[in-house]
Structure 1
């Protein structure tokens, strides 16, 4: 039995976006997988990965006493030692991650390493890190990024089976309406990624025209005020369909609700990734710092309304000098008209392509995308609007695809700028771990 440890200390959505890596490891019956997560995500992780040994660390709980943290860590470290971990996949560039990775020999660690007091990135993370210099041309989904950690074989001990880079089609089921009505996630983790309540009310009213049944409001207890503010902005007929579940569902309850939906309306959230995991259709609204190509819903048949303002995607930690103007376009009549279409006409428009749509074009600051899959991973097909940096993004994706899959590129000529952005001269001179 080969024991593999995945260190994923980020949040809700990131745990689910680790799925391609974890399922790839589990594809080899000779592997056992351990997963280190924040203590608050243990129940979720065990629900998503029932075949994985989950360890919870009190990383994000500000109430954790140092002594409690030390005791919890000591118990987990003892369990890892007893398990005789052979390979470690360290997925995040954070101090806590580096400390955990430092418990193991550097040659055991894939991803972000700690070696003799230095924080190091492996060759694949280093290559991908360079994409952040020009995010609007970044073509790589986080699920695929972590999934291709399995492609790194340097330091792999003799006889150690790593697992396989999982076929993208085996990660999540295709989006299929389930018959349980409309779900609405009221807010993202950051306020700038969240549609203002008056705009969200118009979006719900449009989508409710083609989705029958209950309209389920989802979120934590912090979103209850938004749910109360939303109700009077909706027509009486739609108010009668509302069911406020904010703060009323644990992880299991949230799964039970989401897996039965006809459609989930959401910003870039963990609940969006849960819906994609379960095959529930998603229509997502990406604004501010959210970029669909990086963290969009994974699988066939989801839709994303992506803000393409000149400043998008922005850095949410920095103040917005434009008063979050990117949110206003989501209330445009063309957007609402598309949301109100029947399911049949949505499928017809997807087949026909944007040029044959009978609906008005969205504002220039928005682009409508549909998710799809190829042999590399998640890709997006524009249904309406114009994407910035499309050629540069396509060239970078094809270059990554050809190198990670070790096959010839589908495009005979690739942009030189794409190669220069992803690979530097020392990459060809020094074989970094």
Structure 2
């Protein structure tokens, strides 16, 4: 059997596709990946990939400007070449964009053969036809990440239809790349006793730990542990490295813009630990088994985009407003960037280097979590700083317990919860919204029964108004925004009254379970 995985996203997300690829291989599929042309080099870092197909998006768009027929011919030629080299029995689309959905549909029906699709699909009328509730959750979680309790790796695996999450393990660097890493790190510095990597870049400025803190950390690592900071990043991030080293008194190796991806993977394998923002390099280090201390600022938070490997440290600023929502200017002048001081990171990293394990912290200023896996193999976080007693941690734990079963379409009507509920104040704040939604779902269920027998126009209008009202109530509560988006997505995707009746039954069970857990 053969499978084609479509992932038209960036470097880090592509790396996090590894467990899907390995899981499909374990299930007997010869697995290939279709990705964007400019990220095709990522496949050199992955294992179990039979072949790679790089979508020539830039060429297709350039041809479209000249003549749409030329663009269409280029696209069809690419699809035909994929089919000649790999005639898949299964298409797994992990990208919810319309181009990716169209690709999945195109491959599923080429040459008169109907191939099975998992993940983000589209029907013959052009409407979304996702194959699992997990796909809908992944799509809405991408814009509500502050409210998402699941790591992207686990979401990808569930969307792909894999029951058990496969450990996140990338390919080992080749002997040639390991030798190249030895050369890059081979400068003799008297008294040096190892290397600590610095990755100061990130997708935007507010998600970057300040360069002055990297400099302060470098000073202490050298002065107290004789560890040499190794600066990593792209050529476009070199100015960040220059700023870190400006006025620094510690020796360093600046490799920013000087390594390809295979060399970078090999260098990461030589480090005692990597200190990083939420970046693709963080995921690469996790997949290579390099210990990671990752700082999550602004919209970044470790529950969904943290390193999906055990024994890494995640640090969040200890401020109530973190993580902040996407697309909203910070009303506090991005104060979270300065909440985690260099001393906090040094204490954690130095103890890890000395003791070989991340230890509980009493230093204020950061929520510190150790990555691990729960009984189902999902990535989990355990607090090293006492924040497992906070409402946020308890709420995320409760969501994981309920949403996982809800998205797996289990019967949760009689579920007995094991997680500790949040504080009374927190529960009271959510109870009003949950009560209103519970009552509306009951009313909608009765209206659906009537409409199935007698589709009266006046009742249809009331029914649709109540559907929208549920979304409005859920979206008014920040902790329920991801559920609001999922409700909106799934209720619009169901175009039959029978389908809506089943959806109402599922949501009634979920809201009832949430409400009971708050009593």
TM-score bracket for this pair, using the shorter chain length:
0.7 to 0.9
- The alignment partner of 1:114 has SS state of coil
- The equivalent of 2:333 in structure 1 is 323
8 Å CA contact 1:206–1:339 kept in 2: the answer is no
- The equivalent of 1:54 in structure 2 is 52
Distance (whole Å) between structure 1 residues aligned to residue 301 and residue 404 of structure 2: 20
User: Does the C-alpha gap of structure 1 residues 109 and 411 become closer, same or farther in structure 2, counting only changes over 3 Å?
Assistant: same
User: Does the C-alpha gap of structure 1 residues 286 and 37 become closer, same or farther in structure 2, counting only changes over 3 Å?
Assistant: same
- The alignment partner of 1:143 has SS state of helix
Deviation at 1:320, TM superposition (A): 2.6
- The alignment partner of 1:113 has SS state of coil
TM-score by length of 1: 0.80
User: Does the C-alpha gap of structure 1 residues 278 and 64 become closer, same or farther in structure 2, counting only changes over 3 Å?
Assistant: farther
**Runs of 5+ consecutive residues of structure 2 not aligned to the other structure:** 172-181, 183-192, 422-430, 439-479, 492-498, 507-519
Is it true that 1:81 corresponds to 2:87 in the alignment? no
**Which of structures 1 and 2 has the larger relative contact order (alpha carbons within 8 angstroms, sep 6+)?**
1
8 Å CA contact 2:217–2:342 kept in 1: the answer is no
Distance (whole Å) between structure 1 residues aligned to residue 150 and residue 348 of structure 2: 27
- The equivalent of 2:375 in structure 1 is 375
- The alignment partner of 2:22 has SS state of helix
Deviation at 1:331, TM superposition (A): 1.7
Deviation at 1:210, TM superposition (A): 6.2
User: Does the C-alpha gap of structure 1 residues 107 and 276 become closer, same or farther in structure 2, counting only changes over 3 Å?
Assistant: same
User: Does the C-alpha gap of structure 1 residues 36 and 51 become closer, same or farther in structure 2, counting only changes over 3 Å?
Assistant: closer
8 Å CA contact 1:137–1:390 kept in 2: the answer is no
- The equivalent of 2:502 in structure 1 is 429
Is it true that 1:287 corresponds to 2:297 in the alignment? yes
TM-score by length of 2: 0.68
Aligned positions of 1:70-219 closer than 5 A: 73-82=75-84, 83-103=86-106, 104-105=108-109, 108-115=116-123, 116-121=125-130, 122-129=132-139, 135-151=145-161, 164-169=162-167, 171=169, 181-208=195-222, 212-219=226-233
8 Å CA contact 1:281–1:302 kept in 2: the answer is yes
Larger Rg, first or second structure (1 or 2)? 2
Deviation at 1:313, TM superposition (A): 1.9
Distance (whole Å) between structure 1 residues aligned to residue 225 and residue 71 of structure 2: 47
Which moved further from structure 2: 92-101 or 106-115?
A: 106-115
Is it true that 1:392 corresponds to 2:395 in the alignment? yes
User: Does the C-alpha gap of structure 1 residues 18 and 133 become closer, same or farther in structure 2, counting only changes over 3 Å?
Assistant: closer
1:192-216 CA distance string (max 9 Å, x none)? 1112211221233344456544321
Which is helix-richer, 1 or 2? 2
User: Does the C-alpha gap of structure 1 residues 414 and 370 become closer, same or farther in structure 2, counting only changes over 3 Å?
Assistant: closer
8 Å CA contact 1:140–1:397 kept in 2: the answer is yes
1:111-166 CA distance string (max 9 Å, x none)? 22222122344422224555568644421000000011243xxxxxxxxxxxx544
Instruction: Compute the RMSD of aligned alpha carbons.
Output: 3.6
- The alignment partner of 2:2 has SS state of strand
Could you tell me which of 332, 337, 353 is aligned with 1:343?
353
Distance (whole Å) between structure 2 residues aligned to residue 64 and residue 260 of structure 1: 42
